[in-house]
Amino acid sequence: VQRVTRQRAEILELLKDSTQFLSAQQIHQLLTEQDHPIALATVYRALQALTGTGGLDVRLSPDGEHLYRRCARSDAHHHLLCRSCGTAVDVPGLPLEQWVDHLARAHGFTQVRTTVELDGVCSSCSLPDR
């Protein structure tokens, strides 16, 4: 149990400093480079356990891979992604959720799911070249 806790702590520590979403393979590679040898299967298991209640957000990459990030917000939110460097910013989900709620009610729908993909170019990427 201690071992599992330590490995999860190492993964959370790594993700704490990342503004980008990372795949299990990228996390595995970074941990190995930082002298924290860990099995890829262990990384997958830890990420699954940490998603949601453990404070990790997950999104699907365009090719269907799960990408993970430790988010600053714990409430419902969306991600504004930079197409250029991959930085993700957490943005509040509330106005959108209220609008969806309103639409659902107006049309008698329940359990409406929303998937929001927001991408653009972040402020550091849109700076002119020097």
Chain residues binding Zn ion by CB under 5 A are 57, 71, 82, 84-85, 87, 90, 122, 125
Report the nearest approach of Zn ion to the CB of residue 82 (Å): 3
Report the nearest approach of Zn ion to the CB of residue 69 (Å): 6
Report the nearest approach of Zn ion to the CB of residue 85 (Å): 3
Residue type, position 130, single letter: R
Q: Measured from the CB atom, is 6 or 73 closer to Zn ion?
A: 73
Residue type, position 81, single letter: L
Q: Measured from the CB atom, is 5 or 114 closer to Zn ion?
A: 114
Report the Cα–Cα distance between both ends of the chain, in Å, rounded: 52
